[in-house]
Amino acid sequence: MFTMGRHVAEFEEAFAAYFGRKYAVMVNSGSSANLVAVAALFYRKDNPLRPGDEVIVPCISWATTFYPLHQYGLKLRFVDIDINTLNIDVEHLEQAITPKTRMVVAVSILGNPCRFDKITDICKRHNLILFEDNCESMGAMYDGRYTGTFGLIGTFSTFFSHHISTMEGGLILTDDFEIDCLCRSIRNHGWCRGQPEGSPIFEKKESDFYEAYRFILPGYNVRPMEIQGALGKVQLKKLDAFLGARRANAAHFVSLFKDDKRFIIQHEVGQSSWFCFTMIVNPGTDRGAVLNALKKAGVEYRIITGGNMLRHDVTKYFDYTSVSSKQADIAHDCGFFVGNHPVDIRHEIDYLYESLKCI
């Protein structure tokens, strides 16, 4: 069996246990995890999302945080970031809520946890769904709890550059049995085959002939391969060591750059899983000169998680409003990141520091 067999099921079970959640559903990417999870919220029995409902999102995240929301007819309400953490500015979050708001999407950017004490309190008081896109932050912790486990749903990625890798892959975590059942159907053509015992999303009929190809939801084919599940089981056992190496690298990076007035580096909230090292150039330093120096030194760099989404052409297709994006614009225009790895790269970080000394 090559697609979604024993190894995928065992990886799902181990992944849920590692993060202390009841259910994990594996799909073929973190982007698909977002798509399937958003879809599930439209098909749950009680209080489903509906087209036209409003969802609060941060200005900075990866594109496929936003696309499923748009594709299911939700209205996006963009809130600015905190320039120091790069996460949604919780001081402006509550002010952005309107009578049409149904959900908050919290994204722990590049390994750095959101302020979940405030976010969960706001969502509870306003009866809002909390959806966590945790695709960049596997293993990060806030107040002793893993990010990706604060919301009704948390999504993860196992893309090759992320904290563990199955080449391509993603997972949905939840404690909600109905959501779990919905996600399992939606990832697999929307049929009822493979539903757990006692599934609340359909009533089983007598004929096995028809049940084998009975479609109950508008679904997709985003199934993972067995090789991805097999890789995931092994990679998950290495996650603690990978995180330890990333955090040791980060401690060295911070020690070198924390007092460097030319740059704003990401302020750690809780325990970051340190996807990478972000640097925002302060006024008086030319980002172009910095990037040229890195290019000359052979140091690769990237825009911070795609930058401010409001600056991309694709937003012309969105139904959206924006509260503010001033800080996100600064990150877009003045920021970049360099890579971290799950091995000791302190020597390379020293090289980065030396390469920027004369700018």
32 and 80, same domain (yes or no): yes
- Output the domain CATH number for residue 180: 3.40.640.10
Please determine, for residue 353, whether its predicted confidence score (pLDDT) is greater than 90: yes
CA count, 13 A, side-chain hemisphere, 67: 12
Q: What is the mean pLDDT of residues 284-299?
A: 96
User: For residue 130, what are the β-bridge partners?
Assistant: 104
161 and 206, same domain (yes or no): yes
Q: What are phi and psi of 279, to 5 degrees?
A: -140, 125
Residue ending a domain, choose from 234, 262, 295: 234
Predicted local confidence at residue 206, as pLDDT: 86
Write the pLDDT tens digit of every residue in 116-169: 999 999 999 999 999 999 999 999 999 999 999 999 999 999 999 999 999 999
Within 10 angstroms of residue 347's Cβ, the number of other Cβ atoms is 9
202 and 299, same domain (yes or no): no
Residue at 278 is within a domain:
yes
Question: What's the chain's average pLDDT?
Answer: 97
Domain tally, the chain: 2
Q: Which domain holds residue 309?
A: 240-355
Predicted local confidence at residue 315, as pLDDT: 98
Residue ending a domain, choose from 234, 254, 269: 234
Instruction: Assign 334 a pLDDT band (cuts: 50, 70, 90).
Output: very high
249 and 156, same domain (yes or no): no
Q: Which residues are catalytic?
A: 162
Residue at 296 is within a domain:
yes
Residue at 1 is within a domain:
no
Instruction: Assign 107 a pLDDT band (cuts: 50, 70, 90).
Output: very high
191 and 207, same domain (yes or no): yes
- Output the domain CATH number for residue 270: 3.90.1150.10
Predicted local confidence at residue 359, as pLDDT: 86
Write the pLDDT tens digit of every residue in 158-214: 999 999 999 999 999 999 999 999 999 999 999 999 999 999 999 999 888 999 899
Instruction: Assign 284 a pLDDT band (cuts: 50, 70, 90).
Output: confident
Please determine, for residue 13, whether its predicted confidence score (pLDDT) is greater than 90: yes
Write the pLDDT tens digit of every residue in 266-278: 999 999 999 999 9
76 and 116, same domain (yes or no): yes
Q: What is the mean pLDDT of residues 222-242?
A: 98
Predicted local confidence at residue 321, as pLDDT: 98
140 and 222, same domain (yes or no): yes
Residue at 13 is within a domain:
yes
Name the one residue in this structure whose structure tokens are 């409001």.
310
Predicted local confidence at residue 208, as pLDDT: 87
110 and 225, same domain (yes or no): yes
The CA distance from 322 to 162, in Å, is: 30
How far is CA 217 from each of CA 85, 119, 184, 202, 353, rounded to the nearest angstrom?
39, 32, 11, 10, 53
Residue ending a domain, choose from 234, 261, 290: 234
Instruction: Assign 283 a pLDDT band (cuts: 50, 70, 90).
Output: confident
24 and 162, same domain (yes or no): yes
